[in-house]
Amino acid sequence: MKLKSQINNVIKDAFKNAGIEYEPMSVSEATKPEFGDYQFNGAMALSKKLGKNPREIAQNILDNMELTKVVNKAQIAGPGFINLWINPDWLALECEKAISDDRLGISKNDKPQKVVVDYSGPNMAKQMHVGHLRSTIIGDTLSNLLTFLGDEVIRQNHIGDWGTQFGMLIAYLEMKDEDGLVSLKDLEQFYKDAKGEFDANADFANRAREYVVKIQSGDEHCLELWKNFIDISLGHCEEVYGKLNVNLTRDDVRAESFYNDSLSKVIEVLDDKGILKESNGAKCVFLDGEEIPVIVQKGDGGYLYATTDLAALWYRANELGAKRISYVVDARQGGHFKQVFKVAKDAGFVPEDVKLEHIAFGTMMDKGGKPFKTRDGGTVKLIDLLDEAVIKAKETIKNRDEYTSQQIDELAKIIGIGAVKYADLAINRESNYIFNWDKMLSFEGNTSLYMQYAYARIQSIFRKYNSTIDGKIIISDELEHRLAVMLLRFEDVLSRSAEDASPNQITTYLYELVTLFMRFYEQNPILKDGVKDDIKMSRLKLADLTAKTIKQGLDILGIKVVDKL
């Protein structure tokens, strides 16, 4: 249900009837319950244009407004706000429609777009660490969300599988095991050992350098070892994706190396367009007003990540046909993307109408506000963090004797991983945030457990009721009215969240919804003695739609729900 546009239509009609020729600004949600459900603030803005005072304009709009089906009450307040109340009968009807639809009444985009979402991007030489968490889950949420809204999403995992360090790793892999079939149990350790050998052993270091050349010139034996290494390394990532409940598969992998053959072409095209300049031996593109150029080829002939990104942009816009390309990457790379996007458009790698965006996010900090590290100052491996989350989640489970140990494990996974993901997604992605176990595993406040608890409670009601629902929704008091409006706002929230690529709009909404539901539930008994049958049915239906909305919302965030906590 596109609730806001329904209200906007009422305003638009009123404008037409009143003979106001301007396009009205959109209504917004009322800031307080006593101001109704929605408010129109456009009368003040029109004051200057029309040369009348705002209240007079508001009155004119009001006089020409149809107050029946959708909006059944409107009032002028303050300097010229128009407060709007939605017809409860209409609300009830729309909620009914949402319940009986498996998409909760949410339409699919009638103009679906092809969207590339580039996220996760682990480096194959190292274990995934906490720095990869945000990219992985924000990107995954955005992909889930756009898919749900009907776009054609192409997930791209731009893994780092190319570069000088691989010569060292391959040489070490061969040294440890002739066949190169070593199981890289601890990638981090393997990297350290290889580096140690590289620094201590000149012979080895030379061999490593030779390997770089060999891999790049396509030596079969070396390529075999390299592929093997990447394969094992990717397996580690998949383990993490599995634990995180993230929808990334091998099919989504387009590694850096995938673009190797296109790199010389990138340089060629830039040269043809006349925007390539040589500076200090390197090939560069200088952008207007910027002192520092984009270097696309080093003095020694090597290519850089800007070159690969340009090749990737070309591929995504032309081969994949994307109309929106979203890079979910750390905010620190803002300068890089700004430049690369500009070059790509200038050089015609990407058509003008394609939207390029850097979905930037801030850094995860510890309690003291310093970047998140282990006690000895190293990076925290993502897999360790997730395992710890599950262990901590297990400790929070009450009444453990009611479950089998297998059930507890399963529950702990859902709770622990959900808590980590929710805590991250609930924060405005552009700001840095403080990682806090106690806060994220709390049942209070805007946490996944508060949502899970509400969901489980509703399921518990239905277990107890254990019968079919036969009746209609009747909006009988203010809380029910507000709950119904909130439920119908879901689609607007999702659209906005998709547009801005901001998952926290979904979490904020869910929190408001659940808070409202808890109040409703506290005040309006459902199954207690003395509740009349038609009221009981209506409240069961509102509870049902609330549960479905929570579930759908969390599902987009990649968080599972359980019927019983």
Of residues 82 through 111, those in contact with RNA by CB under 7 A are: 83
Cβ closer to RNA: 2 or 176? Answer: 2
- Kindly identify the residues of this chain, within the stretch 419-448, that bind RNA according to CB under 7 A: 426-428, 430-434, 436, 439, 442-446
Reduced to 3 states, what is the DSSP secondary structure of residue 39?
strand
Smallest gap from Cβ 90 to RNA, in A, equals: 20
Cβ closer to RNA: 190 or 509? Answer: 509
DSSP state of 103: T
- Kindly identify the residues of this chain, within the stretch 356-375, that bind RNA according to CB under 7 A: 363, 369
Cβ closer to RNA: 145 or 180? Answer: 145
Q: 98 and 207 in contact (C-beta within 8 Å)?
A: no
Token pair belonging to 388? 């710890």
Stretch that binds RNA, among 190-198, 263-271, 280-288, 311-319 (CB under 7 A): 280-288
Smallest gap from Cβ 112 to RNA, in A, equals: 22
Number of Cβ atoms within 10 Å of the Cβ of 154: 18
Alpha-helical regions (H) of 364-433:
382-396, 405-425
Smallest gap from Cβ 177 to RNA, in A, equals: 27
Smallest gap from Cβ 104 to RNA, in A, equals: 20
Task: Please count the residues of this chain forming the interface with RNA, following the rule CB under 7 A.
Answer: 95
The secondary element (H helix, E strand) that includes residue 45 is helix 42-50
- Kindly identify the residues of this chain, within the stretch 228-257, that bind RNA according to CB under 7 A: 256
Stretch that binds RNA, among 112-120, 220-228, 229-237, 274-282 (CB under 7 A): 274-282
For residue 537, is it left (φ>0), alpha (ψ between -120 and 50) or beta?
A: alpha
Smallest gap from Cβ 178 to RNA, in A, equals: 29
The terminus-to-terminus CA distance of the chain in angstroms comes to 31
d(CA 354, CA 113): 11
Place of tokens 């009747």: 474
Q: Build a one-symbol-per-residue string for 382-411: x at contacts with RNA by CB under 7 A, - elsewhere.
A: --------------xxxx------------
- Kindly identify the residues of this chain, within the stretch 151-190, that bind RNA according to CB under 7 A: 160, 163
Stretch that binds RNA, among 56-64, 141-149, 518-526, 550-558 (CB under 7 A): 518-526
State the DSSP string of 58-96.
HHHHHHT---SSSEEEEEEETTTEEEEEE-HHHHHHHHH
DSSP state of 292: S
Smallest gap from Cβ 533 to RNA, in A, equals: 14
- 334 lies in the site for RNA, by CB under 7 A: yes
- Kindly identify the residues of this chain, within the stretch 282-321, that bind RNA according to CB under 7 A: 282, 284, 292-293, 295, 298-300, 302-305, 308
- Pseudo-torsion of CA 526, 527, 529, 535, nearest 10°? 40
- Kindly identify the residues of this chain, within the stretch 458-477, that bind RNA according to CB under 7 A: 459-461, 464
Stretch that binds RNA, among 75-83, 127-135, 176-184, 551-559 (CB under 7 A): 75-83
- 542 lies in the site for RNA, by CB under 7 A: no
Smallest gap from Cβ 250 to RNA, in A, equals: 20
Smallest gap from Cβ 181 to RNA, in A, equals: 27
Q: Build a one-symbol-per-residue string for 23-62: x at contacts with RNA by CB under 7 A, - elsewhere.
A: ---x-xxxx---x---x-xx-xx-xx-----x--------
d(CA 397, CA 392): 9
Cβ closer to RNA: 274 or 369? Answer: 369
DSSP state of 157: B
* Helix orientation angle between 382-396 and 220-244, rounded to the nearest 10 degrees: 20
Smallest gap from Cβ 38 to RNA, in A, equals: 8
Cβ closer to RNA: 54 or 418? Answer: 54
Alpha-helical regions (H) of 318-362:
334-346
d(CA 248, CA 312): 18
User: Which residues neighbour 304 within 8 Å (Cβ) at sequence distance 6 or greater?
Assistant: 295, 296, 297, 298
Length of the chain: 565
